[in-house]
Structure 1
């Protein structure tokens, strides 16, 4: 009876009936294909509705400099991961300008960078403002203070020279440094500066 009602609703004969059993007619085969497509579409619609209720789902890539990640991600990631249990994150690290280039190329979904470059394909939102400056330990020797002498032509600089902020502050300061200790870790810059190894360039 159920098959008869289905044929009546469809307005066509969908099944060949014989003593050997039941098989689809041409109209029945078309009906089967269309019904399967409709069922698949309904399944996708339900998944979309579930995703809209659950919020963020899927895998997203966040790019940022390692030192930027150290102070910017811990305050936001715990609650983000807790609020969206189906969200998966991948973190990738490099210089801010290289991370920005990868966002423009579509290789990274989201970036936390310093001094972002304006681009037609980017949506930029400020998170915080940092003032970068020179720092020295209170117990630093005269060699590593901001002054020069015949014996000590200049203090030791500890920084990451490739950062735009570093280049900007050095250009404006016009100070002379005898040597430069290069490191990409702001934490190490702070530790070496505190130990009196030199003058560090750090966000304040």
Structure 2
């Protein structure tokens, strides 16, 4: 039994009609009906008598109605109490991050978090985007920091940062001395080193080449940004990286060049479950990541 099922049930009880209840809940009528049928299956009892377009509560439905209102009221009261008493931020927040983001935004955000909120614990899980979204949906992660395609309806996506993508080449590569912004035609025949196909950034690069009707000459798929940089440094190929990956302190003889196409950028989001209460600690950490991202962009 889930809270949204109880909300749908009460809407039908109040409206006496599945279509009007669906409109009230901002969901499709088939989705609402499916959730009511699922709830009836879990309880082993019919909750409504369907009389044409009219829906009347059965005896079991009337019993559940009062219980459902109590449950939802207690949940709302608990949420309000937590929000109003969150003067001191404590607890554990489980956060997922994609590999192309972790080294650049997460360490400084954690450092600030320890200083400002010493009783708040942030547990980090680094993984690919699809796995992180699955973990958020299943309730194992409260927040995931990643790009997002909008393909999971129950995920809320809060924008954090939009940044350009850049071309990384060995300092010995001919393109290293080119001062103007580089177009895809300048490196379409170059061997390409990418973050793996299942990585968000890799997907975006493949999509860009596909839009231009160019077949990329991929010579390596890496799971970590550092591995990718090692190969570029050796002259194995060129690579497309997020702007935040430009780090002059690393021992790589790599040159980064701007790309002409405005499509070569990415938008990062804080992804959360649409029906899960966002804890004060999670809100604090999202704000800290945004703060770090803003400072990097200055």
TM category (shorter chain) comes to 0.5 to 0.7
CA distance in 1, matches of 2:192, 2:171: 16
In the other structure, the counterpart of 1:156 is 191
1:141 positional shift: 6.9
1:179 positional shift: 4.3
TM-score computed with the length of structure 2 as normaliser: 0.44
Q: Is the 8 A contact 1:133 1:169 kept in 2?
A: no
The structure with higher relative contact order (CA 8 Å, sep 6+) is 2
Q: Is the 8 A contact 2:194 2:218 kept in 1?
A: no
Relative distance call for 1:109 and 1:116 in structure 2 (3 A) is farther
1:158 positional shift: 0.6
Gaps of 5+ in 2: 1-81, 176-185, 244-298
TM-score computed with the length of structure 1 as normaliser: 0.61
1:118 positional shift: 5.2
Larger CA Rg, structure 1 vs 2: 1
In the other structure, the counterpart of 2:236 is 197
Q: Deviations along 1:130-171, whole A, 9 cap, x unmatched? A: 2335432241279xx826xxxxxx432111222322222231
Gaps of 5+ in 1: 1-47, 148-153
CA distance in 1, matches of 2:166, 2:211: 11
2:70 is aligned with 1:59: no
In the other structure, the counterpart of 2:210 is 171
Where 1:90 maps in the other structure, the secondary structure is strand
CA distance in 2, matches of 1:84, 1:120: 32
In the other structure, the counterpart of 2:55 is none
Residue correspondences, number: 148
Q: Is the 8 A contact 1:190 1:202 kept in 2?
A: no
Q: Is the 8 A contact 2:148 2:157 kept in 1?
A: no
1:49 positional shift: 10
2:187 is aligned with 1:146: yes
